Structure 1
Amino acid sequence: MTINDMGRPARAGSDYAELSRRVAGAGLLGRRPGYYLLRTGLIAALYGAGIAAFLALGDSWWQLALAAGFAIIFAQVALVAHDLAHRQVFRTRRPSELAGMLVGNLGIGMSYGRWMDNHTRHHANPNHEEHDPDVDPDVLVWSTRQAENSRGAARFIGRWQAFLFFPLLTLEGLNLHYGAVRSVLRRTVKRPLLEGTLLFVHFGGYLAALLLVLSPGKALAFFAVHQGLWGVYMGSIFAPGHKGMPMLGPGEKLDFLRRQVLTSRNVRGGLFVDNAMGGLNYQIEHHLFPHMPTPHLRRAQPIVRAYCAELGIPYHQTGLVRSWAEALGHLHRAGAPLRRNGADRNAVM
């Protein structure tokens, strides 16, 4: 059975309209300024406290524990930038963009414009091989079709990508920095001068702090721990929502409701997981209602799940460990053609 066979046929888009009426009727699409004021205030306070602790500790190996703490802080800042990009905080574009660049570019060295462009395309076509930038086969392959057509690094890494996935995540922080600088230099963002200036201030301040406070060896160790753990944490937030869920191949189309539900996975785990993942463990609800404030996603979940049951649409929710098992299992299966090709070549030789 293909992904297009799941659930009964859509009624010209009216299925999603009915779900929207139910969710809106529950009052879940309204703004939550108080929540975001408290959340951003707490994260800003932690960021400031981290800087103060860094200066107070000085040239000490205890700074590596602080580097791990900054990995968590940076990921939480990235989640705020994510919510700003979806206009969950402000209703209009201009304040959302300005706050997003201050949080993303200046705060953590990530291009807000690049993030918003990629993430918007991802939301429009999640897990679609032709249109979702998150499943581009540049390093990893996400389907056997991609594996068979892969070239370069993806062809080499794809054979054992399930085992290499977490080690590769340690480079995700650096990849975000690299992508930010590249997007500014290539002027693929709307405000390259402003974004570039904020990135320059961030990188300059970050490197100056490391080199002025720490010895070269400790500075390098701090950088490695911080950037590596930040990358792993970012992957742990964003990957469970889609990796290992059905993929849409070339030419495959679904209505909006089914496209979002069938390609997304929820991760249960209570308040700890809710906060650690910034609400993105409710990935199905977030994709259906990207403007919905984070604290409302949990309340929308039973409404969406019950409605999917009415329509016969599979609704997938699992625990955090199981979500990773499914994602890594999918990666291993996607790389199977590369392992077979390698075995065939060895047999010929």
Structure 2
Amino acid sequence: MPVSPELLQRFAREWLERENFPDDIANETAARLNTLLARLRTLDETRLRDLLPAMAFNPSAAAYAVPPQTPPVWEPLAQGEGTGYGGRGTTGVEAAPHTPKPIANDSPEWLWWDATTLAAALRKGDLRPTEVVEAALARLHALEPTLNAFVTVTEDQARAAAQRLETALARGEAGALAGVPVAFKDLFETAGVRTTGGSHVLADYVPTRDATAVRRLLAADAVSLGKTTTHEFAFGPTTDSPYLGPTRNPWNPDHVPAGSSGGSGAAVAAGIVPLALGTDTGGSVRMPAAACGVVGLKPTYGRVSKFGVLPLSWSLDHVGPLARSVADAALALRLLAGGDPLDPSTVPIPPDDYQHAVRRGREETLRGLR
């Protein structure tokens, strides 16, 4: 039965105690509700019946088969060997806190550099995008059975992008993140790559467009390795998906990486990518950053576009980076910030030189802080 304006008028009187409910609002509301009902009737009901309800756990998910492990997958550096924000990286760039040191792992040392250092080495020709991407993919595949940090790995696209960037870098025509591996929380729409939101409900959803934040990082020639795990629709702090199983903390697989951007936090902490995007509504970037020992940033509301990001709360959602260093967070914000006509909540103010602020702060206001 269709919803009529008269029904809405009656509802307004009996439930909202509104005697004067404008006809134009009643007519428009009825039209919208009827459109929604028509769309719901066209859904494939047999498919919906097969779905588990949200938050219903699926113990058969492969990740649940990974036995608890008391030792960490890798060891932290010994106390005093560059831990904390005051530590120095190989090339003098601020190191992330508690930089992990792999056990029985043949990954090259530069895979642990932050994005700022790695991008500089790629621009100088000290490294090639293809070798960086291959090393990152190798580490991803070696650790993924335990970590469960990725929903989708875009291996072929990453290799193709790295190959293209070899030529662009040789010509000096590449962007600020040319050849740097990155990953995106599986709330960000990605053209041609499925976006599940951590739920079986969207298991087959393949967007035709990129979220603005994705588009801006890819425009800087970052190389996406794929989509990282999230608590279902970002609604939880553990990144334990009912359908994909739990994501594990790189420091101790018995523990969670926090959430809901836990896949991005784990991927950065594990040395797979130096930079990943997450979302923060009530701590979903900051908590994984703390639990995984990396840098997380929740930008000011309206600074970074949310267009193309599956929402949890329109007025509280933020897009932010998880990174190896404060310098990386500043670089990411410079690339991400700015107005977006597709997101009316953004402020049309050009991004500041956040990297300059970090360099100045390192010498002045940030000295001695942890």
Q: TM-score range by the shorter chain?
A: under 0.3
TM-score relative to the length of structure 1: 0.27
Q: Which of the pair is proportionally richer in strand?
A: 2
More relative contact order in 1 or in 2 (CA 8 Å, sep 6+)? 1
TM-score relative to the length of structure 2: 0.26
